[in-house]
């Protein structure tokens, strides 16, 4: 049985200052961070988000693509304000989709992904900062994720931001 790695970022204590250079780097590289809400969350753009999600998830050892990305984008918890998209010219090069789970008491990172050719430049951190700001603006103090134990990049990303194992 897979021992999923569960992580939680304390949004009340989180200090974004050390990570702000990643936002500047994205801007300097010509990458704009926006949201599905701002882009226009219509059917063609939703399909584009789903395609980007599926492309990035292909490198996630924990992704069950048979379960269907479209279902996750159409779930009741999907919020276009919480769906960050990194746009470079005509290309969508990253996404970070967060949902709010008030009954459980936390925001949840559904998926963060960067296209392979744009990885390793701080883009995932930049998108997560936007996700953190959004979750905080909605009153959440915890942001959870879970990962396949072989997904070193995703685990490393969240540890880098300061996430720790949640208390039971």
Which of these, 165, 113, 162, lies nearest to 11 by C-alpha position?
A: 162
Decide whether 53 or 134 has the Cβ nearer to ligand COA.
Answer: 53
Q: Which two tokens stand for residue 106?
A: 């936390």
Taking the complex as a whole, the smallest distance from the CB of residue 45 to ligand COA amounts, in Å, to 20
Strands 142-147 and 91-101: unpaired
Decide whether 42 or 129 has the Cβ nearer to ligand COA.
Answer: 129
Q: Which residues of this protein are in contact with ligand COA, per CB under 6 A?
A: 56-57, 59-60, 111-114, 119-125, 147, 151-154, 156-157, 160
Decide whether 43 or 104 has the Cβ nearer to ligand COA.
Answer: 104
Taking the complex as a whole, the smallest distance from the CB of residue 116 to ligand COA amounts, in Å, to 8
Q: How far apart are CA 126 and CA 123, in angstroms?
A: 5
Taking the complex as a whole, the smallest distance from the CB of residue 141 to ligand COA amounts, in Å, to 21
Taking the complex as a whole, the smallest distance from the CB of residue 15 to ligand COA amounts, in Å, to 16
Decide whether 120 or 139 has the Cβ nearer to ligand COA.
Answer: 120
| CB crowding 29-53: b at 16 or more within 10 Å, else e | eebebebbeebebeeebbebbbebb
Q: Do 35 and 84 touch, CB atoms closer than 8 A?
A: yes
Taking the complex as a whole, the smallest distance from the CB of residue 126 to ligand COA amounts, in Å, to 7
Closest residue by beta carbon to ligand COA: 156
Decide whether 139 or 156 has the Cβ nearer to ligand COA.
Answer: 156
Which of these, 96, 101, 159, 102, lies nearest to 131 by C-alpha position?
A: 96
């Amino acid at each position: 049985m897979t021992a999923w790695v569960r992580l939680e970022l304390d949004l009340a204590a989180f200090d974004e200052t050390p990570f702000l250079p990643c936002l500047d780097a994205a801007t300097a590289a010509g990458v704009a961070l926006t949201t599905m809400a701002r882009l226009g969350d219509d059917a063609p753009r939703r399909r584009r988000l789903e395609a980007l999600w599926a492309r990035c998830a292909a490198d996630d050892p924990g992704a069950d693509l048979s379960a269907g990305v479209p279902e996750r984008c159409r779930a009741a918890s999907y919020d276009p304000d919480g769906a960050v998209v990194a746009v470079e010219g005509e290309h969508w090069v990253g996404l970070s989709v967060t949902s709010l789970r008030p009954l459980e008491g936390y925001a949840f990172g559904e998926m963060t992904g960067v296209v392979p050719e744009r990885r390793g430049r701080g883009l995932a951190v930049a998108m997560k900062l936007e996700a953190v700001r959004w979750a905080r603006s909605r009153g959440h103090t915890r942001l959870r994720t879970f990962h396949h134990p072989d997904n070193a990049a995703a685990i490393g990303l969240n540890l880098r931001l300061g996430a720790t194992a949640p208390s039971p």
